[in-house]
Copies of this chain bind each other. A is one copy, B any other.
């Protein structure tokens, strides 16, 4: 039985807590959050505290706070030599205070407020300073997911960079499309099956094999038409940069 205490209770820790709470190998003994929170009924027998001094002994402390608060929060913990992990893709393990044994438990997924995701297929990236802690994190990761991977901080930084492209930047392009359609009184709903299939397509095909469109086929007539439509738009530069990148990329491969 692994006893777990959550430090901070944003979207990531909410999801981890949901996934671990009913498992017989884990005991979620407490949630610390700086501000008062109200737990969903299914979790409401977990002890809560807003006082660092009231944090209970546990096998693992899982910090789920904004990246820029991880160092401060870990330094403020009033105990030593326990296993303290963070859940962030973009933060080095050594950002955690050295007063405790350090580790990372990073579920490579995007979480939304109040939405409980199935984590079974989500890669859980783990890292620890000590082998025994690594084993504990591996056990915890295996309860969460079928895909537990050993990723060190250097690798995780690259993984996080790549994740920014497929998550943050891709979502931004969804927003660009929505804005273009709204400006012309067209419904963004029309694009949702395309958005879904674009993601589904690469399940069994590499993105380079899946690439289509005017840029790839160097269809200058369509590209000019698009640039004309965007002549007054702040999105023209983005179109040009991505269009040219695709042309260059497939030009080289031909």
Interface, chain A (partner B; CB < 8 A): 66-68, 90, 108-110, 112, 117, 121-123, 125, 149, 155, 157-178, 180-181, 184, 186, 188, 190-203, 205-208, 210-217, 219, 221-222, 225-226, 229-230, 234-235, 237-239, 241-242, 245-246, 249
B241 near A245: Cβ-Cβ < 8 Å = no
Chain copies in complex: 2
List of 7 A-B pairs having minimum Cβ-Cβ separation, nearest first: A168-B213, A175-B207, A199-B199, A174-B207, A162-B177, A165-B177, A169-B242
Where chain A touches its partner, the secondary structure class is helix
- Distance in Å from the Cβ of A205 to the closest Cβ of chain B? 7
Chain B residues with CB under 8 A of A172: 207, 211, 215, 242, 245-246, 249
A170 near B186: Cβ-Cβ < 8 Å = no
Chain B residues with CB under 8 A of A184: 155, 158
Chain B residues with CB under 8 A of A191: 108, 159, 162-163, 166
A194 near B67: Cβ-Cβ < 8 Å = no
Chain B residues with CB under 8 A of A161: 180, 226, 229-230
Residue of B nearest to A180 (CB): B162
